[in-house]
Structure 1
Amino acid sequence: MTKPAPIFIHFSLHITFILFLNHANSQLDYNINGTVPLFICNLKNLTTFGVHNTSFHSTEFLRALYNCSKLKILDLSQNYFYGAIPNDIHRMSRLRDLNLGVIESFLPEIGNLSNLEELGLAYNSKIVPPLPSEFGKLKKLKFLWMVGTNLIREIPNTIGEMAVLEHLDLSENSLTGKILGKLPEILAWSLTRLEMNNNMFLGKIPWRVSSSKILLVLMASNNLFNGTIPRDFSRLTILLVDRNQVSGSLPSDINS
């Protein structure tokens, strides 16, 4: 007999609330029917809510969380949503960390979550680009995780407006062209980790990337970069440029 799948709701007072879902079918899909119990929002210290490995036939349950005045972390990764995320999700104004599962489109209203520091939208093969310009309002965002989100053409200028971004992961998309736009401005001020594996970037690695004084990690495997490996990369702690058309030797004091 298959055990029911748990939903964990974590509280700042080190209490874990668990809801068990019944086994739905032989494909090990689990469904939430109904809504999140309203009493959850009466828990004054609720700061983290996480649900994993579930198919949601309705996203209306999210609205039950709007009254959780201290909610800062919402982790819905590894889920599948049938239908759109509520367009008033920006009412969760205190959120600092939002990680969504499989959704059908970018939601411009996420740009109104002004306190967000981490945003995860990875592995969303159904998302239709482009990235909404509203995302440029995320001025406190430090980590943007967009692996496998159907991004195409050049890196969106919107990302360059995220003034304090430290970790950017754009791997496994169809980004191409040279690294242009406003990305170099981020490199100069805040970016310490840049991941762009498995795209179609081409040309030489720009000097504005290699000369960054704060960039520590560059992962750019399996692209179309050419030219020589810049000497300025000696300050990096991790450098991955395999499966490109670059030449030259790697600095001896970095991990590769």
Structure 2
Amino acid sequence: MKNCTGLQYLDLGLNSFSGPVPDLSPLNELKFLSLNSSGFSGHFPWKSLENLKELTFLSLGDNPFASSPFPQIPEGIHNLTRLRNLELADNTLSGPIPAGIIQLVKLWQLQLYNNSLSGNLPVGFGNLTSLVNFDASMNMLRGKLSEPRSLNNLASLQLFENHFSGEIPEEFGEFKYLVELSLYRNNLSRRIPPRIGSWSDFIFIDDSENFLTGPIPPDMCKIGKMVKLLLQNNLTGTIPESYANCKSLARFRVNNNSLFGIVLAGIWSLPNLALIDLTMNQFEGPVTGDIGNAKSLAQLLLSNNRFSGELPASISKASSLVSIHVSSNQFSGQIPVTIGELKSLGCLYLDGCYMFVKVRKTNLNHPLKQGSWEKKSVQAQIFPGPIN
């Protein structure tokens, strides 16, 4: 390889090589280097890499360098000032993100996820305003999110499973291109910025398992492209009316909050909704018959609320249902016999509700899966005698 001095493009990714990466210093005209998932191990020749100043694309992710001298991102990374793409994910890296990385002002993608990086984001990191995709999830980074607040060209920001604290910057609500935001499992507090979703075509937000308070922002589904919205925190208030028109929504989790009020009929009938998780809140009122229009709904999770009334017979028209969890509510009346028409239903949890069931053979069009009707703590009236 040392004789390939004019080489500009080298892609050895997705292979099963063994042993160390060879000396790369003769390849000083390289613009593209990918060793992603290539199987290399041993000592990585960082010094030779620092000589490749023409590089615009560098991908070293998912290589087993754990037992070699590859513990930290080297300070010399700042020499690669032409880089637009830097991928160092799954490399068992530790230590801080080097301060020199702020000199890579042309970066549009930076992937550092699933390492053991620690410390704060470097001062000046917010100057990397060309960044479109930044993923440093599953590390041990800490501090406040003051630096990313300047990265207003971001389309995707993934910082989940770290130790960031403080508040979510208000500036995130002004990012016009941001479509994916995951801050799951950090130590963030205070409210979610109310303008999040006002400008951008959000498709995914996961702020779960933080210490966020206050209401659900009304505009997170304003553009109508939201697919996943996951907000398990300490939120209060009601589900905004605008969410009843969020027809793109497929996964909606607001469990383990302190939300209350009546869930609007439009929420139950969202056409693409596959999962709705409202457990451990203070919602009340009925589940309306509109739920029969939720043809994609697979998981209906409503336990530990104050829902009341009867489950509507139209629930059988939600033909994709696999799990129904409505335990510890105030439902009453008869369990709809049409529920036996749900051919995919595997779990039905009704513990703590005041309901009875009338079962006839004609109501059961398929064998219920084992456990789906067993050992449920419901007030049930099973009609004796032959099932007809």
Please, what TM-score do these two structures have when normalized by structure 2? 0.51
Q: CA deviation at 1:190?
A: 4.4
Question: Do the aligned residues in 2 keep the contact of 1:59 with 1:84 (CA within 8 Å)?
Answer: no
Residue identity opposite 1:149 in structure 2:
N
SS of 2:147's equivalent in the other structure is helix
The aligned residue for residue 104 of structure 2 is 65
The aligned residue for residue 253 of structure 1 is 295
The aligned residue for residue 243 of structure 2 is 209
Shift of the 203–110 alpha-carbon distance from structure 1 to 2, 3 Å rule, reads: closer
The aligned residue for residue 102 of structure 1 is 140
SS of 1:175's equivalent in the other structure is strand
The aligned residue for residue 274 of structure 2 is 238
Residue identity opposite 1:32 in structure 2:
Q
Shift of the 150–12 alpha-carbon distance from structure 1 to 2, 3 Å rule, reads: farther
1:85 equivalenced with 2:121 (yes/no): yes
Residue identity opposite 2:222 in structure 1:
A
Please, what TM-score do these two structures have when normalized by structure 1? 0.73
The aligned residue for residue 95 of structure 2 is 56
Q: CA deviation at 1:132?
A: 2.8
The aligned residue for residue 198 of structure 1 is 232
CA distance in 2, matches of 1:107, 1:151: 9
CA distance in 2, matches of 1:175, 1:107: 15
Q: CA deviation at 1:170?
A: 1.1
CA distance in 2, matches of 1:5, 1:84: 31
Q: CA deviation at 1:108?
A: 2.4
Deviations 1:157-178 (A, max 9, x none): 3535553333211111222343
Deviations 1:146-198 (A, max 9, x none): 1122233432235355533332111112223432xxx3233222451343343
Question: Do the aligned residues in 2 keep the contact of 1:124 with 1:148 (CA within 8 Å)?
Answer: yes
SS of 2:213's equivalent in the other structure is strand
1:74 equivalenced with 2:110 (yes/no): yes
The aligned residue for residue 155 of structure 2 is 117
CA distance in 1, matches of 2:158, 2:204: 11
Higher relative contact order (CA 8 A, sep 6+): 1
CA distance in 2, matches of 1:5, 1:143: 36
Question: Do the aligned residues in 2 keep the contact of 1:136 with 1:158 (CA within 8 Å)?
Answer: yes
The aligned residue for residue 23 of structure 1 is 67
The aligned residue for residue 139 of structure 1 is 176
The aligned residue for residue 322 of structure 2 is none
Task: Map 1:182-193 to 2 at 5 A.
Answer: 183-193=217-227
Unaligned runs of 5+ in 2: 1-17, 22-29, 45-64, 300-388
Identity of aligned residues (%): 23
SS of 1:85's equivalent in the other structure is coil
Unaligned runs of 5+ in 1: none
Q: Which stretches of structure 1, 4 residues or more, deviate above 6 A after TM superposition?
A: 3-6
CA distance in 2, matches of 1:211, 1:33: 46
Shift of the 116–226 alpha-carbon distance from structure 1 to 2, 3 Å rule, reads: same
Q: CA deviation at 1:96?
A: 0.9
Question: Do the aligned residues in 2 keep the contact of 1:152 with 1:175 (CA within 8 Å)?
Answer: yes
| Correspondent of 2:166 among 121, 124, 129 | 129
Equivalences, count: 237
Q: Give the structure with higher Rg (CA).
A: 2
SS of 2:122's equivalent in the other structure is coil
Larger proportion of helix: 1
